[in-house]
Amino acid sequence: MPSVGAGRPLSATDGAIRLLDLVGAVALLVLLAPLLLVVAALVRLDSPGPALYRQRRLGRGQEPFSVAKFRTMEVGAGADAHRAHVERMIDGEPDSCPMAKLQGDARLTGIGSFLRRTSIDELPQLWNVLRGEMSLVGPRPPIQYEVDRYPPQAFRRFAVRPGMTGLWQVRGRSRLTFQQMVELDAEYVERRSLRLNLKILLLTLPAVIHGEGAA
């Protein structure tokens, strides 16, 4: 499937959103610095290994990049269980496979499930936002083996930078099917604006705090 969105000229919307990303990422990194240091220490104390985990994801135009997250799994944990879980969601019946995270994941560390449930594990992605690989708002950046099973309509997601939060995250998160996620990401691509990004950011915190659709 050819790349989508690669080489697109910078628009006024792109410039405004990029400015929001830079200001927001810097402000959040400064504000959350004490929390980030504490979490990094807790991850190291909880299990042997580094505090951060890096994984190859696909961004705008299907360009690969290394996403940063707090490590929530034991070092050396394989991806087979997650890959099978993702494939079931993508290949399943439209109304039978919610976008839930893998349940009873034996790979998780003691603190890992808490970090995932609260989305704290994703805060290091603010660095990816600063680097221009991600945006504060956009579709979730997928792994290659997810994309290998994408239906044609899902490739519309690559028209914009991936985000830390997005339209489907504030409209149900894991309660949604894969098809519903794709439809909401396509809606975001069509409606993308500075105003919509600000609205999604304002809705993200309550969604995380209340655990709406969390898995």
Burial of 167-194, coded b for 16+ CB within 10 Å and e otherwise, reads bbbbbbbeebbbbbbbbbbbebbeebee
Q: Is residue 1 part of a domain?
A: no
123 is a domain residue: yes
- Selection from 80, 52, 55 nearest residue 66 by Cα: 55
- 121-165 pLDDT tens trace: 999 999 999 999 999 999 999 999 999 999 999 999 999 999 999
Answer yes or no: is 184 within a domain. Answer: yes
215 inside domain: no
Distance in angstroms (rounded) separating the CA atoms of residues 74 and 71: 8
Total domains in the fold of the chain: 1
Q: What is the pTM of this model?
A: 0.85
Q: pLDDT tens digit string along 107-126?
A: 788 899 899 888 899 999 99
Q: For residues 60 and 162, is the Cβ–Cβ distance under 8 A?
A: yes
In this structure, the dihedral spanned by the alpha carbons of residues 163, 167, 172 and 176, taken in order and rounded to 10 degrees, is: -80
Residue 173 lies in a domain: yes
Does any domain span residue 50? yes
User: 156 in a domain, yes or no?
Assistant: yes
Q: Is the pLDDT of residue 85 over 60?
A: yes
Identify any residues that bridge with 163 across adjacent strands, giving them in sequence order: 135
In a domain? residue 138:
yes
Residues in the chain: 215
Q: Where are the beta strands (DSSP E) in 71-159?
A: 135-137
The domain in which residue 95 lies consists of 12-210
Torsion angles phi and psi, residue 26, rounded to 5: -60, -45
